[in-house]
Each structure stands twice: as structure tokens, then as C-alpha cells.
């Protein structure tokens, strides 16, 4: 079985709201062996909604639609459904009771809008919504299935996971789809592809997608097999081969961020880190403290943006700054050593660079980064050259600095 996903709302078309519903639904369908053949987004227009439903109903066996089930004037999905299925709206006593109970718990009065929420298309099956007033709706004819859900993400997810996936699982056709995403950093998409070589030989029966981002490339392995166990074996074999060739660049899986992985390593080793930032402006400290439990390994972070602050707070010698400039191997190393010494931590980490768009030179162009590292065994610094874009530079610089720590701790060369 394949499915189509339709999302409704002007806010999605103008970019005011990020369409997370599509991604969530597609992921959940894939996990039960249902692929997604098409995603369609339409505005709050009755004709456009009807056309989208008609196309999905004609071409696919399963369609999931979200959005437009609320009680306000711009919520017109129920009208579009009645128009498509040539039916009217009728009040559901059970749904009316549910809405009344939900309003009572929230100490809200019964209104005309509440009455509207109790109306559903006459030939729809009602799927309960435990956390909201708009129910899910189910239409079916022969081998065609249409599920209609609220657009509010937490309500949609509740109905999707609590009801619809259970209804769809027996219809999936006995196949299973498995994904595994490997998170890489420190290598470009083209260089990674070259390193991996022949993709078909590498993945066997699986497929491999390259998903680049400013901080790294995600590798998504996908296998579709007769059952979940076989799909899992295919994915695992492909992952093993990929790690054999590119393991030094793989820091995590699925949605793991580098700061989460690094925090786990520091925790396991009982080590603490302190950070001195210049060009990243506190972004590394922010990322480290985004992780629950970071107080066990993150001691402090200081933003030493000016030369004066580097000297006063970290003890970087003025003559070092004069001789080499703030953006240099020598200063990055001294910053890492200084923050480690002052904080009394196992590790000191530093960043100094030119985020741009101004401030660069032929010798030190915009995008130049030096990140320093210090521990009981000594200190060092690594140079990077990133592209334009101030915020993108800061993001990449923070990633490079965190990755340097991971590599040093794991002794990756």
C-alpha cells in the first residue's frame, strides 16, 4: 500500500508555519510498511481541497488529510468533504457529549462554535480525539481509504498513533520499511560520496540518500522487504559497510546532535569541559547546555570577543595578540589553555575567527576559524576555512569545535 498526504492551510503556503505534520505522518506510515507516493499542500479554499481529495481518491488506495476541521470561518474541510462525497452534516450525540465534557474540564461555556464541532459528514466514521474537540474522520469505499485529522500537531499525533496506525497496519500488504540515518560531520557531500564508492555494491538491497546541511551530511539508509526482520538485516548490513569506509566521520544516528553525543562521552569518562568563545559568541555553550544533565560535565563558558577580554579573562599575553593577531593558532591555543587553567577542568576549548562579512584580509579571509583544544596531555589548534554567511559560519564553527573534542577523546585521526 502507498499513501498520499494532504495538508490544508494558508499558513503553510505562506511559510508562516513549518509543515511538520507531513514529516510525522510519513515517518509513521513508513514504519508500518506504507510508502508515501505524494505530498500535497493546499490553502483554505474549498475548491482546492476538493480537487486534492479527488486526485488522491482516484489515484491512491490511502490518503491522510490534516487541517481545516476547526470551528472558525476559515476551517472549511468538512464542507469540502460534504461536497466531494455528496452528503450533508449531521450532529453526533456521542461527539456532542465529548465536546461538552472537554469544555467543562476547561471551564469553558457551550457556544455556537462548540455546536459546529459536533457536526460531521453523514457517511463518515468518527475517530475519537482524546485531546481536542475536532474528531478524526474516516471514509472508505472498496479499497480506497481517506482519513481526515485536525491540523493541530499534538491532536493529529494523538489520533494517528492511538487509532489510525492500528487501523492501517493490517492493510500494509505484508511488507516492511526500515530506515536508519547516520549523522556525519567534517566531510562534504561530494567527498563522502567519493569515499563510499559504488553505492549499489555498498547497500545491497537498500537505498542510500545523501542529505547535506551546514553542519554535516545525513546518510539515510532505506530497506523495503517482506518482513521487518529482513528489512532490519538489510539496513544493518548496509550500515556496517558504510561505517567500515566512513566511520571516522559518523558521530551519531537518527536525530542525535553532536552536543548530545559529546555529552554522553564526557559523562561516561567523568570529564569536565570549559569553553572560551570569540567568533561563536556563546553558541557552543548554548549547544552544550541544551542537553539535560550537562551540569555534570560543563563547568563554564566565557565569551571573550575583544582582545582586552582575552587578556583579562584568559590570560592571553598581549604580545601574542600583537605578534600573531586574534585569529591565529597561537591565540586559539592560549585561549584553550587559559580557560582550562582558570576553570580547573579536564578540557579547554576555544574558538577565534572571522565571521564576516567584513574584517577579512588576503592573509586571513572571511570564514577563517581557529579552534583550540587543551587537556592534561598538552594543547593544539586546528584551522578551518568556511564560506560566507555570518550565522552559517557560527553554526559550522561550533560544530567543528565540538567535533574536535570528540575526535580527541576517541583518538580519531
Q: Is the pLDDT of residue 175 over 80?
A: no
Are 156 and 248 in the same domain? no
> Do 245 and 351 belong to one domain?
no
> Cα separations (Å) of 207 from 165, 177, 180, 202, 245?
25, 11, 11, 9, 17
Containing structural domain, residue 101: 2-171
Domain boundary among 137, 155, 171: 171
Predicted local distance difference test score (pLDDT) of residue 224: 84
pLDDT tens readout for residues 30-77: 888 888 999 999 999 999 999 999 999 988 789 999 999 988 888 899
260-292 tens-digit pLDDT: 999 999 999 999 999 999 999 999 999 999 999
Report the C-alpha gap between 19 and 15 in whole angstroms. Answer: 9
Assess whether 231 and 285 both reside in one domain: no
167/185 same-domain check: no
Share of the chain above pLDDT 70, in %: 99
| Claim to verify: residue 317 and residue 381 sit in the same structural domain | yes
pLDDT at 195: 96
Q: Domain check: are 317 and 189 in the same one? A: no
Phi and psi dihedrals of 12, rounded to 5? -80, -35
> What pTM was estimated for this model as a whole?
0.75
Residues 400 and 292 in one domain: yes
Instruction: Identify the pLDDT of residue 126.
Output: 96
Helix/strand/coil (H, E, C) string of the chain?
CEEEEEEECHHHHCCCCCCHHHHHHHHHHHHCCCEEEEEEEECCCHHHHHHHHHHHHHHCCEEEEECCCCCCCCCCHHHHHHHHHCCCEEECHHHHHHHHHHHHHCCCCCCHHHHHHCEEECCCEEECCCCCCCCEEEEEECCEEEEEECCCHHHHHHHHHHHHHHHHHHHCCCCEEEEEEEEECCCCHHHHHHHHCCHHHHHCCCEEEEEEECCEEEEEEEEEECCHHHHHHHHHHHHHHHHHHHHHHEEEECCCCHHHHHHHHHHHHCCCEEEEECCCCCHHHHHHHCCCCHHHCEEEEEECCCHHHHHHHHCCCHHHHHHHCCCCHHHHHHHHHHHHHHHCCCEEEEEEECCCCCCCCCCCCCCEEEEEEEECCEEEEEEEECCCCHHHHHHHHHHHHHHHHHHHHHCCC
Domain identity same for 342 and 370: yes
Q: What is the pLDDT of residue 46?
A: 96
User: Is the domain of 271 the same as that of 369?
Assistant: yes
Answer yes or no: are the C-beta atoms of 67 and 32 closer than 8 Å: no
Q: What average pLDDT does the segment 306-327 reach?
A: 98
Name the band, by pLDDT with cuts 50, 70 and 90, for residue 174.
low
Same domain, 52 and 103: yes
Per-residue pLDDT tens over the stretch 74-96: 889 999 999 999 999 999 999 99
Please tell me the predicted confidence (pLDDT) of residue 32.
84
Question: Cα(317)–Cα(26) distance, rounded to whole angstroms?
Answer: 56
Reported as a single tens digit per residue, the pLDDT across 84-139 is 999 999 999 999 999 899 889 888 888 888 888 889 999 999 999 999 889 999 99
Statement to judge: residues 380 and 280 lie in one domain: yes
- Mean pLDDT throughout 250-256? 96
Residue at which a domain ends, from 228, 253, 278: 253
Which set of grid coordinates corresponds to residue 265? 562521552
Q: What percent of the chain has pLDDT over 90?
A: 82
CATH number at residue 163: 3.40.980.10
pLDDT tens, residue by residue, 368-393: 999 999 999 999 999 999 988 999 99
**Over the stretch 149-161, which tens digit does the pLDDT of each residue have?**
999 999 999 999 9
User: CATH code at 218?
Assistant: 3.30.70.2860
Tell me: the pLDDT tens digits for 183-196?
999 999 999 999 99
Please count the structural domains in the chain. Answer: 3
Average pLDDT over residues 155-168: 95
- Same domain for 66 and 155: yes
Domain limit, last residue, from 192, 225, 253? 253
388-410 confidence digits (pLDDT tens): 899 999 999 999 999 999 999 99
- Please check the confidence at residue 176 and state whether its pLDDT lies above 80: no
Amino acid at each position: 500500500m502507498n499513501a498520499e498526504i494532504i495538508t490544508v492551510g494558508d499558513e503553510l503556503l505562506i511559510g508562516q508555519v513549518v509543515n511538520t505534520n507531513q514529516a510525522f505522518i510519513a515517518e509513521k506510515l513508513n514504519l508500518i510498511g506504507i510508502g508515501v507516493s505524494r505530498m500535497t499542500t493546499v490553502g483554505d479554499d474549498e475548491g482546492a481541497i476538493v480537487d486534492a481529495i479527488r486526485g488522491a481518491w482516484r489515484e491512491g488506495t490511502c490518503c491522510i488529510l490534516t487541517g481545516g476541521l476547526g470551528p472558525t470561518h476559515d476551517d472549511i474541510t468538512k464542507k469540502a468533504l460534504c461536497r466531494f462525497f455528496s452528503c450533508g452534516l449531521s450532529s453526533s450525540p456521542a461527539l456532542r457529549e465529548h465536546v461538552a465534557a472537554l469544555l467543562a474540564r476547561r471551564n469553558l461555556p457551550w457556544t455556537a462554535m462548540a455546536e459546529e464541532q459536533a457536526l460531521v459528514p453523514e457517511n463518515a466514521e468518527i475517530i475519537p480525539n482524546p485531546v481536542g474537540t475536532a474528531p478524526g474522520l474516516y471514509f472508505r469505499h472498496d479499497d480506497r481509504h481517506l482519513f481526515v485529522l485536525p491540523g493541530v500537531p499534538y491532536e493529529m499525533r494523538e489520533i494517528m498513533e492511538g487509532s489510525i496506525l492500528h487501523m492501517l497496519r493490517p492493510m500494509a500488504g505484508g511488507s516492511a520499511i526500515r530506515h536508519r540515518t547516520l549523522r556525519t560531520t567534517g566531510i562534504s557531500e561530494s567527498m563522502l560520496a567519493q569515499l563510499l564508492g559504488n553505492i549499489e555494491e555498498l547497500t545491497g538491497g537498500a537505498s542510500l540518500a545523501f542529505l547535506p546541511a551546514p553542519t554535516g551530511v545525513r546518510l539515510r539508509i532505506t530497506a523495503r522487504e517482506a518482513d521487518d526482520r529482513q528489512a532490519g538485516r538489510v539496513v544493518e548490513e548496509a550500515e556496517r559497510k558504510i561505517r567500515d569506509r566512513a566511520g571516522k566521520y559518523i558521530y551519531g544516528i537518527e536525530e542525535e546532535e553532536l552536543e548530545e553525543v559529546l555529552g554522553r562521552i564526557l559523562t561516561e569518562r567523568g570529564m569536565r569541559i570549559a569553553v572560551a568563545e570569540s567568533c561563536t559568541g556563546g553558541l557552543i555553550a548554548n549547544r552544550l547546555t541544551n542537553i539535560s544533565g550537562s551540569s555534570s560535565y560543563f563547568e563554564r563558558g566565557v565569551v571573550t570577543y575583544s582582545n582586552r577580554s582575552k587578556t583579562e579573562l584568559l590570560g592571553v599575553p598581549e604580545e601574542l595578540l600583537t605578534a600573531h593577531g586574534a585569529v591565529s593558532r597561537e591565540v586559539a591555543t592560549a585561549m584553550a589553555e587559559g580557560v582550562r587553567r582558570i576553570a580547573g577542568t579536564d578540557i579547554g576549548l576555544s574558538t577565534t575567527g572571522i565571521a564576516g562579512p567584513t574584517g577579512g584580509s588576503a592573509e586571513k579571509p572571511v570564514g577563517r576559524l581557529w579552534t583550540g583544544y587543551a587537556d592534561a596531555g598538552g594543547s593544539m589548534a586546528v584551522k578551518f576555512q568556511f564560506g560566507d554567511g555570518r550565522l552559517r559560519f557560527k553554526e559550522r564553527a561550533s560544530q567543528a569545535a565540538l567535533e574536535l573534542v570528540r575526535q580527541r577523546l576517541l583518538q580519531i585521526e
